[in-house]
């Protein structure tokens, strides 16, 4: 049962206008959660502390959204005090990011990290043959097989997602890409740009769809 989850739909906004405004939180077995926490502290935390991009500010000890905003502001002011006449900022939001992670790509990325191979194999196994059902007001659906995505609300889910998006980088090192979970901000000084003229496109390499580029 440790691969089974009860999914609780939690509203993202105070007023619910669409089912897309629900965030699926996976409630897993308590023993499994304790085991995940132990594995993370003893086998994974020290690796991700150095392997995860320094510009990722979510799910990392000593990092938060305020620090991400401070880095953005500091960089913009530094550019404007230098040669840049303006700064272009492009914000990304991944649609159903946690639910869209392809397991095959994530597994390949896990294998490249300096994690104990037995732990890596266990992580890969934990993604296979998962089942979940939705529970609302005591009403339960039937269990369905899950063949992609990482469960939200678990201990290791955020870590696995951070590993998935870790190698998304800027092409031009002058530019800056600040990440906070599935939200990213591409910052470009002066006339240099990596901004595609189309407002929507897909990052096929990572299997995640960008849906908002204001």
| pLDDT for 191 | 61
Read off the pLDDT of residues 48-88 as tens digits, 9 standing for 90 and up.
Answer: 888 998 999 999 888 899 999 999 999 999 999 998 888 99
Q: Which residues contact 10 (CB under 8 A, 6 or more apart)?
A: 22, 23, 24, 25
CA geometry: angle 140, 134, 108, nearest 5 deg: 140
Q: Range with the lowest mean pLDDT among 70-74, 91-95, 199-203?
A: 199-203
Q: How do strand 22-27 and strand 4-11 relate by DSSP bridges?
A: antiparallel
Residue 146 CA from chain centroid, whole number: 18
Cα separation of 75 and 67, whole Å? 12
Cα separation of 92 and 189, whole Å? 18
- 144, 24 in Cβ contact below 8 A? no
Cα separation of 136 and 12, whole Å? 16
| pLDDT for 171 | 82
Predicted confidence (pLDDT) at residue 198 exceeds the cutoff of 80: no
Cα separation of 156 and 154, whole Å? 6
Q: Which residues contact 124 (CB under 8 A, 6 or more apart)?
A: 107, 110
Read off the pLDDT of residues 27-47 as tens digits, 9 standing for 90 and up.
Answer: 999 999 999 999 999 999 998
Read off the pLDDT of residues 109-155 as tens digits, 9 standing for 90 and up.
Answer: 999 999 999 999 999 999 999 999 999 988 999 999 999 999 888 89
- pTM for the complete prediction? 0.81
Q: Which residues contact 113 (CB under 8 A, 6 or more apart)?
A: 47, 48, 51, 120, 163
Q: How do strand 87-94 and strand 22-27 relate by DSSP bridges?
A: unpaired
Domain edges within the chain: 4-213
Cα separation of 201 and 157, whole Å? 25
Number of H helices, E strands in the chain: 6, 10
């Amino acid at each position: 049962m440790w691969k089974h989850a009860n999914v609780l739909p939690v509203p993202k906004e105070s007023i619910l206008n669409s089912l897309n405004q629900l965030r699926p939180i996976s409630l897993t077995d308590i023993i499994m959660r304790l085991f995940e926490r132990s594995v993370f502290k003893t086998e994974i935390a020290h690796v991700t502390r150095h392997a995860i991009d320094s510009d990722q500010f979510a799910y990392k000890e000593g990092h938060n959204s305020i620090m991400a905003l401070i880095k953005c502001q500091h960089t913009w002011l530094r550019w404007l005090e230098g040669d840049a006449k303006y700064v272009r900022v492009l914000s990304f939001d991944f649609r159903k990011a946690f639910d869209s992670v392809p397991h095959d790509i994530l597994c390949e990325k896990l294998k490249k990290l300096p994690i104990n191979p037995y732990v890596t194999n266990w992580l890969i196994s934990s993604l296979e043959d998962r089942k979940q059902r939705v529970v609302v007001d005591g009403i339960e659906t039937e269990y369905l097989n899950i063949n992609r995505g990482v469960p939200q609300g678990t201990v290791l889910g955020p870590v696995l997602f951070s590993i998935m998006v870790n190698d998304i980088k800027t092409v031009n090192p002058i530019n800056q890409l600040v990440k906070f979970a599935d939200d990213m901000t591409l910052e470009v000084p002066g006339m240099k740009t990596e901004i595609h003229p189309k407002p929507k496109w897909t990052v096929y390499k990572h299997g995640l769809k960008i849906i908002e580029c204001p």
